[in-house]
Amino acid sequence: MKITAHRGGSSLAPENTLAAFNKAAELGCEWIEIDVQLSIDEVPVVIHDQTVERCTDGSGAVSSMTLDSLKSLDAGLWFGEEFRDERIPTLEETLLLARNTNLNVNIEIKLYRQDDLVLLCEKIKKVIIDLDVEASQILFSSFNIEALKYMQYHQPQIRRGLLVETIPANVLLLLAEIEAYSLHCNYVFLKEQQAKLIKKSGYQLYCYTPNSPQQVSQHWDWGVDMMITDVPQAYINILTYDKFKLINSN
């Protein structure tokens, strides 16, 4: 039973900020998931939405703003006064924090319409190479299979996970095509038969974003390997409780 902190510990701190990543580390998570896009001056930054409205005090499209403009925004205040002055992190800052806190990073390559796929992939690749990040510390994921194909060719040593909402009929073909490590799907639509097929075919199966362990109590039995959740603390409590029961029953 494995857990990824979705956008960091995003129920306890503003999503996709260093505060959220630190929170995930404090909770003892092994993995965080982050969304990466490019600023207009081509710096990979960590933010989910196409625009900055929801998670900052600014407005406008991420892809139309320089890193300096993005950094001038407050990315914490919307979540709570104690997070005032939190900033949109760069991928570089995030990977450095991950290294210092022993977190592994699921980098979601976030491509909105009009975004330059090659440029985003190249800039992500450069940060990883410049920081000399271990391939085992990273997993790429994307809804855009072309981005994963690009990474397969240019950074083959880093594992790839295909993101889907529902599982398409040709899923095994798609996974084979990118030599995928994992399939990441919405837990709401996953069926037992599909889960079993993916597992039988040798892939890791991840589900996003069940925020209560009760929502996926059966999914573990179907073979799901990882839950990507905003509320890792809910699962960690269960894990700790199970361990406690095990120790005390021996």
**Shortest gap between Cβ of 182 and ligand G3P (angstroms)?**
10
CA distance 200 to 197: 5
Segment 126-165, which members bind ligand G3P (CB under 6 A)?
Answer: 141, 163
111 neighbors 63 (Cβ within 8 angstroms): no
- In sign, the C-alpha dihedral spanning 35, 163, 161, 144 is negative
Residue nearest to ligand G3P (CB): 208
Q: Does 15 bind Mg ion (CB under 5 A)?
A: no
User: Which of residues 73 and 139 has its CB atom nearest to ligand G3P in the complex?
Assistant: 139
**The binder of ligand G3P chosen from 8, 23, 24, 33 (CB under 6 A):** 33
**Shortest gap between Cβ of 4 and ligand G3P (angstroms)?**
8
User: Choosing from 48, 154, 184, 219, which is the catalytic residue?
Assistant: 48
**The binder of ligand G3P chosen from 48, 87, 123, 219 (CB under 6 A):** 48
Task: Specify burial of residue 128 (Cβ count, 10 A radius: 0-12, 13-18, 19+).
Answer: buried
Residues binding ligand G3P: number (CB under 6 A): 10
Residues 6+ apart with CB under 8 A from 39: 45, 62, 63, 65, 66, 67, 69, 70
CA distance 149 to 178: 6
**Shortest gap between Cβ of 250 and ligand G3P (angstroms)?**
37
Q: Does 230 bind ligand G3P (CB under 6 A)?
A: no
Provide the Cα torsion 177, 181, 187, 191; round to 10°. 60
Active site residue 219: no
Nearest to 5 by CA among 37, 43, 31: 31
**Shortest gap between Cβ of 36 and Mg ion (angstroms)?**
9
**The binder of ligand G3P chosen from 79, 140, 208, 222 (CB under 6 A):** 208
User: Which of residues 36 and 70 has its CB atom nearest to Mg ion in the complex?
Assistant: 36
Which partner in Mg ion, ligand G3P, none is near 109 (CB below 5 to 8 A by kind)? none
Active site residue 184: no
Residue 109: DSSP 8-state: E
**Shortest gap between Cβ of 193 and Mg ion (angstroms)?**
26
Question: What are the distances in angstroms from CA 149 to CA 165, 221, 244?
Answer: 19, 31, 44
The CB-side HSE value for 78 (13 A sphere, CA atoms) comes to 18
Q: Does 184 bind ligand G3P (CB under 6 A)?
A: yes
Query: DSSP 3-state assignment of 220?
Result: coil
Please give the residue ranges that form the binding site for Mg ion (CB under 5 A): 35, 108
Please give the residue ranges that form the binding site for ligand G3P (CB under 6 A): 6, 33, 35, 48, 108, 141, 163, 184, 208, 228
Catalogue the active-site residues: 6, 48
